[in-house]
Chain A
Amino acid sequence: MVDLWDGMSRAFWLVVTLDAELVEIALRSLQVTLIALVVASAIALPMAALLTVRRFKARRTVIAVLNALMGLPPVVVGLVVYVLLSRSGPFGVLGLLFTPTAMVIAQVIIIVPLIASIAHQSLRDLWAEYHDLLISMNVTQFQKISTLLWDARRALLTASLAGFGRAIGEVGAIMIVGGNIDHSTRVLTTAIALETGKGDFALALGLGFVLIALAIVVNLAIHWLGRTEREGRW
């Protein structure tokens, strides 16, 4: 209990004094996660729309696999990305291991199935509503997809936020591919793991509270920008 209070007060002072290391780590966390989110959304949302409107033989299997991949173990993803990016791996020549880029790649792999699955659920419902209308209007496949993505944008925002939540709290994969290097690849989650390992529970808790606050602030900001609760009724 003492650790908890101590953690909260440490978090408070870290934020109030704008601790340089905390700011650096928090900004890196945000940077890596937001880049991963943008890349993952750019892949997952059109993929979900395509799975919604296109009919092909293995469609159900692809959807089932995508749903199953929502529970992809981050540590395994980290390990696979590590092997691929390591010097002896196929992409070793790129020299990406232990860089923020490697962390972004791992996060993208983890959150693409999550965003795509949630987005697919929303788009499927909307497609059921729009199907006859868009068929009768004789619109192209591209127009169908863009219409669904635009009209379901608020639901898709929720899908992306779920991906953000998963990515910002991720530790296993980015620890492996990033290496938790000070001033280079250290982010909030890996810093928490490090401080816990060192026995500094108060600082670890402090960083944890900062992480939670950051996630809430970003979620609120995106909701506000997306006008989710103001125009979201229809």
Chain B
Amino acid sequence: MSTLFPLVAKGAITSRRGKVLVGPVDLTLDGRGTCVVIGPNGAGKTTLLRLLHGAARLTKGSITWACPTEQARHNQAFVFQRPVMLRRSVEENLIYPLRAHGMPKAEARDLAQNWAERVGLQEMLRRPAPVLSGGEQQKLALARALIINPKLVFLDEPCASLDGRAMREIEAILHEASSNGTRLVLSTHDMGQARRLADTVVFLLNGQVHEQAPSSKFFTAPETPQAAAFLKGDIVE
């Protein structure tokens, strides 16, 4: 059992210029499986992920880990909806987080080559990362996040605007990471993907957690009428 979890958010609020963006959120995440955050546009999915990750400022409430926050930050990664590529080669992008964590260059290079093979980018190691296709960039972003062997990865709609093939490849990597013990917290608009990946589901509405349940229960018998309407495809506000 990992020492990072449980992650406990109590009355967590993030606001900007007096306007509450997300919260108050009460949420507990243990160290197993994949948690999928769903909700309509503007519900606050991205902000919630950023808040839990520590990239958005906590205005009120608390977010605690089973270990010191700094240690928790070191053991997690974030994958953005639009992958951010360092203006370097694919290999250098993979090496970067390892070097930032103090790994010797030769060791980092070996690991980078290994990960490039795992995500099917071994032929592109010397290519500049910013010129890769959208799907390749997202695979690289995912490999770059997973290469440090994090205990937790936040993924903000990692398959948005990708075609079916690229989505399948990304999901295969996510499955592998999850089965290797990495906790995934992923936001998505794609209900099919949510059903395929989720062990637990967090339904977010107007910046608040409306429902949190195991996926089998959530997709068959949601507790709230808003969640049921959302699953039916109705417009929920």
Contact = CB atoms under 8 A, between A and B. Distances in A.
Given A135-B55, A136-B55, A234 B86 contact: no
B131 interface: yes
Interface residues of B, number: 18
A17 interface: no
B84 A130 contact: yes
Contacts of B129: 234
In the complex, which range does the number of interface residues on chain A fall in? 10 to 19
A61 interface: no
A88 interface: no
Contacts of B77: 136-137
A137 B100 contact: yes
Nearest to B80: A132
Contact of B131 (A126, A132, A135, A234): A234
Given A138-B73, A139-B100, A234-B131, A151 B88 contact: yes
Q: Is the interface of A mostly helix, strand, loop or mixed?
A: helix
Interface string A120-131: 000000100110
Interface in B72-90: 73-74, 77-78, 80, 84, 86-88
Contacts of A129: 84
Interface string A133-172: 1011111000100010001100000000000000000000
A185 to B, nearest CB: 42
A133 B84 CA distance: 7
Contacts, number: 39
A130 B80 contact: no
B129 to A, nearest CB: 8
Interface in B109-148: 128-131
B153 to A, nearest CB: 10
Interface in A196-234: 231, 233-234
A234 B131 CA distance: 8
A151 B74 contact: no
A234 B87 contact: yes
Contacts of A137: 77, 96-97, 100
A138 to B, nearest CB: 5
B210 interface: no
A234 B130 CA distance: 6
B136 to A, nearest CB: 14
Contacts of B96: 137, 147
10 contacts: A129-B84, A130-B84, A132-B55, A132-B78, A133-B80, A136-B55, A136-B80, A137-B96, A137-B97, A234-B131
Interface of B: 53, 55, 73-74, 77-78, 80, 84, 86-88, 96-97, 100, 128-131
